[in-house]
């Protein structure tokens, strides 16, 4: 209640997916320019550089892809994390590249995202191909990681004269595609935009031919996202440690992270898993300000009595002392294998599992019926397939149903899924 009354800002992170050249980088660059996070001057600078290499139209994309290697190749390689704030919300952009060899980076982004923006190239003939190829794989990934909400940015509508028919056709086809993959229509929005010209992103569309559209701008659709549901607040407190600081005060350690569930108050008794270290909360700090409490979705630094920082690791989980997360070495996950990365069946015995920042080896797959270790025939996931896998881990780790996991093998992310 106190939270609802306060005018504290919401936080939300999103990933941007879509076919290469759909206009993801251009759109995000444009968004940052319109919100005055990047100066038009900077874009001009990139534009001039771009002109020299005959790639003028890439200027806005370059705002996002500032590293020279990326500029040379004209694609986004790493996930470029960017922040921006609107009146109500603090957003983190986990940008996603479109090239198929960069899918592993997108997985990293998607596994942290609250929702996704799917960019569709509305230019004639472009998006239909995408629904079968990269776009499909991206959307399946979102689905297998349990993301529920998608904002579909129907981009480049300037190239088809802001045709309402074109927008409606895409709307219908993409909605069918998404609901077919298990998304609920009520969680999917379609917004007509031009990333290049900046239409309907922050400001409404200016073109007369778009007067048929009376709906939200992209930023309004972003703001409509309700990240802090009453459900997530009611769940037991959970926070994965992302940073560890030794404090000036004796006997205090500060641990920072994003609250994954529940609420926290000064005075709460917590347990740090997997090593079962008991601590008390001495302070709650958000954006350098001391607070009495914090809730799911917020990035906090917690001053804790007790723990020796040597015994706390990044990826450890903070939870209530009297309602701790359970540590286990036997788990069931439902995961999807990526066709583009691994055209061969995945041998699960060779994989490594990434969970909430920590890495554990998968030492065996177990027979679902008997719980016995499968020795003879290694279990495999076929490319593009989804499998329910029972796994024995090399050590006990704090785990919970619904957690997102990715499986890596030989340095590549080959599958992603949810813990059951
Ligand atoms: P990404 O690979 O999805 O990040 O795509 P980019 O942002 O690099 O854009 C690919 C190309 O499409 C570039 O030449 C952009 O200038 C162009 N582009 C992006 N958005 C629009 C748009 O709304 N209208 C038009 N006409 N071109 C666009």
pLDDT of residue 298: 83
Structure tokens at 147: 């993301």
Contact 104, 341 (CB under 8 A): yes
User: Using one digit for the tens of pLDDT, what is the confidence trace for 94-140?
Assistant: 754 444 445 556 666 677 788 999 999 998 676 777 677 778 878 88
What lies within 8 Å, CB to CB, of 300 at 6+ separation is 239, 256, 257, 258, 259, 264, 284, 285, 286, 294
Give DSSP secondary structure letters for 199-213. BTSSSPP--GGGTT-
ipTM reported for the complex surpasses 0.95: yes
pLDDT of residue 217: 96
Strands 81-85 and 89-94: antiparallel
Q: Whose CA is nearest to atom 17 of ligand 1?
A: 23
Strands 10-17 and 115-121: parallel
Task: Give percent of the chain with pLDDT exceeding 70.
Answer: 68
Provide the Cα torsion 206, 208, 212, 217; round to 10°. Answer: -10
Structure tokens at 188: 């999917």
153 falls in which pLDDT band (50, 70, 90)? very high
CB of 137 sitting under 6 A from ligand 1: no
> What secondary structure letter does DSSP report for 365?
E
Q: Torsion-angle region of residue 248: left (phi > 0), alpha (psi -120 to 50) or beta? A: alpha
What does pLDDT average to over the chain? 77
Among residues 219, 414, 259, the alpha carbon closest in space to that of 335 is found at 414
Contact 175, 167 (CB under 8 A): no
CB of 325 sitting under 6 A from ligand 1: no
User: Using one digit for the tens of pLDDT, what is the confidence trace for 7-17?
Assistant: 467 778 888 88
Query: Dihedrals φ, ψ of 347, to 5°?
Result: -85, 110
Question: Ligand 1 centre and the CA of 60: distance in Å?
Answer: 9
CB of 135 sitting under 6 A from ligand 1: no
User: Using one digit for the tens of pLDDT, what is the confidence trace for 254-295?
Assistant: 999 988 889 999 999 999 998 999 999 999 998 888 999 998
Among residues 215, 233, 101, 102, the alpha carbon closest in space to that of 164 is found at 215
Structure tokens at 156: 């480049």
Three-class SS state of 185: helix
Mutate to test the pocket of ligand 1, among 196, 198, 201, 218 (most ligand atoms within 8 A of CB): 196
User: Using one digit for the tens of pLDDT, what is the confidence trace for 200-244?
Assistant: 999 999 889 999 999 999 999 998 877 655 567 888 999 988 888
Residue with tokens 């309907």: 200
User: Using one digit for the tens of pLDDT, what is the confidence trace for 314-372?
Assistant: 888 999 999 999 888 887 777 776 665 555 555 555 555 655 445 555 555 556 566 66
Question: Ligand 1 centre and the CA of 18: distance in Å?
Answer: 12
Contact 155, 16 (CB under 8 A): no
């Amino acid at each position: 209640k106190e939270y609802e009354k306060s005018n504290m800002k919401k936080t939300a992170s999103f990933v941007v997916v879509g076919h290469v050249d759909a206009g993801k980088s251009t759109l995000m660059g444009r968004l940052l320019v319109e919100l005055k996070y990047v100066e038009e001057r900077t874009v001009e600078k990139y534009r001039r550089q771009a002109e020299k290499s005959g790639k003028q139209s890439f200027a806005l994309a370059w705002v996002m892809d500032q590293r020279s290697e990326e500029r040379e190749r004209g694609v986004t390689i790493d996930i470029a994390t960017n922040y921006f704030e609107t009146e109500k919300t603090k957003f983190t952009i986990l940008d996603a590249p479109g090239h198929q060899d960069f899918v592993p980076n997108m997985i990293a982004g998607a596994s942290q995202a609250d929702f996704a923006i799917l960019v569709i190239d509305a230019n004639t003939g472009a998006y239909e191909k995408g629904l079968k190829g990269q776009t499909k794989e991206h959307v399946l990934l979102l689905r297998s990681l349990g993301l529920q909400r998608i904002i579909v940015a129907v981009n480049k509508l300037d190239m088809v004269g802001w045709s309402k028919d074109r927008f409606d056709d895409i709307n219908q086809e993409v909605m069918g595609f998404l609901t077919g993959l298990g998304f609920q229509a009520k969680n999917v929005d379609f917004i007509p935009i031009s990333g290049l010209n900046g239409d309907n992103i922050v400001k409404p569309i200016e073109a007369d031919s778009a007067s048929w559209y009376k709906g939200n701008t992209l930023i309004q659709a972003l703001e409509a996202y309700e990240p802090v549901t009453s459900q997530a607040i009611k769940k037991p407190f959970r926070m994965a440690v992302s940073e560890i600081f030794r404090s000036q005060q004796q006997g205090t350690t500060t641990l920072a992270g994003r609250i994954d569930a529940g609420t926290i108050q000064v005075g709460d008794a917590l347990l740090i898993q997997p090593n079962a270290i008991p601590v008390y909360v001495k302070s709650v700090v958000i954006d350098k300000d001391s607070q009495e409490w914090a809730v799911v979705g917020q990035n906090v630094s917690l001053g804790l009595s007790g723990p020796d920082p040597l015994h706390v690791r990044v990826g450890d989980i903070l939870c209530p002392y009297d309602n701790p997360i359970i540590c286990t070495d036997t788990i069931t996950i439902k995961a999807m294998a990526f066709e583009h990365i691994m055209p061969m069946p995945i041998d699960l015995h060779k994989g490594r599992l990434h969970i909430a920042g920590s890495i554990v080896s998968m030492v065996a797959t177990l027979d679902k019926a008997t719980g016995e270790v499968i020795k003879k025939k290694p279990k495999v996931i076929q490319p593009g397939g989804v499998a329910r896998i029972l796994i024995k881990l090399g050590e006990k780790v704090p785990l919970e149903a619904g957690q997102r996991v990715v499986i890596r093998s030989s340095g590549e992310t080959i599958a992603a899924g949810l813990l059951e």
